[in-house]
């Protein structure tokens, strides 16, 4: 091997070493838009991520009775699992009752959580419309949506929850201040 060949070889080898770890396709594979859609279920407080569809309180009462009441009680109270209704006005007492109505700051969180995690034995088994309906029903149990009401992707983010202003961010991680440009 001539000196030139040696230099060339070494140079190519070095380039190869440098290039290899920087190539993304060496690790994993591109995600397609179609498959991302399957998993991209999160819903933000601005309603981003909410799917098309809608649900009424009336329909939600039936869905709730069929899928939720066994654990949460017929009216979202008195069940073996989390109480979902009532408790407003108790947060500053010695026995606070934290429910969707008394504590949760965003209605969008309710849709997101039911959609991803409920019913406990079969998460994700409710249709989009059923999820909207049961969301509407739980909000109606708390007097936030009227008994003849319905919710959809437009109305849900606009609902102002009773405890919307009940949260104080820890200054170190306050979203309103954390990444503000100095």
Pairing state of beta strands 54-56 and 150-152?
antiparallel
Q: Is 160 in the site for another protein (CB under 8 A)?
A: no
- Binding positions for another protein, 55-74, rule CB under 8 A: none
Nearest alpha-carbon partner for 150 in 55, 62, 82 = 55
Q: Is 44 in the site for another protein (CB under 8 A)?
A: yes
Q: Is 34 in the site for another protein (CB under 8 A)?
A: no
List the one residue from 7, 8, 31, 147 that touches another protein (CB under 8 A): 31
List the one residue from 2, 24, 52, 182 that touches another protein (CB under 8 A): 24
Compute the least distance from the CB of residue 175 to another protein, in Å.
Answer: 5
Q: For another protein, give the closer residue by CB, 77 or 98.
A: 98
Identify the residue whose tokens are 């029903």: 137
- Residue 55: in which H helix or E strand, if any? strand 54-56
Give the C-alpha separation, 88 to 85, whole Å: 9
Say whether 87 sits in a helix, a strand or coil.
coil
- Which listed range, 68-76, 117-125, 128-136, 142-150, lies at the site for another protein (CB under 8 A)? 117-125
Q: Is 137 in the site for another protein (CB under 8 A)?
A: no
Give the C-alpha separation, 166 to 69, whole Å: 28
Identify the residue whose tokens are 């140079």: 11
Nearest alpha-carbon partner for 127 in 55, 69, 74 = 55
**Site for another protein, rule CB under 8 A:** 21, 24, 26-31, 35-36, 39-46, 91-92, 94, 96, 98, 100, 103-106, 108-109, 112-113, 116-117, 120, 123, 166-170, 172-175, 178-179
């Amino acid at each position: 091997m001539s000196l030139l060949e040696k230099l060339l070889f070494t140079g190519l080898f070095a380039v190869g070493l440098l290039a290899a770890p920087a190539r993304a396709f060496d690790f994993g594979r591109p995600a397609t838009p179609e498959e991302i859609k399957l998993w991209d279920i999160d819903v933000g407080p601005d309603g981003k991520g909410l799917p098309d569809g809608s649900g009424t309180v009336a329909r939600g009462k039936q869905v709730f009775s069929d899928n939720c009441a066994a654990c949460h009680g017929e009216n979202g109270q008195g069940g073996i699992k989390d109480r979902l209704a009532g408790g407003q006005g108790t947060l500053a007492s010695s026995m606070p009752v934290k429910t969707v109505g008394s504590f949760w700051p965003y209605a969008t969180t309710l849709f997101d959580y039911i959609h991803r995690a409920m019913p406990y034995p079969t998460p994700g088994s409710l249709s989009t419309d059923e999820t909207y309906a049961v969301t509407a029903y739980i909000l109606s149990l708390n007097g936030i949506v009227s008994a003849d009401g319905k919710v959809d992707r437009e109305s849900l983010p606009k609902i102002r929850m009773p405890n919307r202003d009940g949260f104080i961010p820890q200054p170190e991680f306050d979203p309103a201040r954390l990444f503000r440009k100095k």
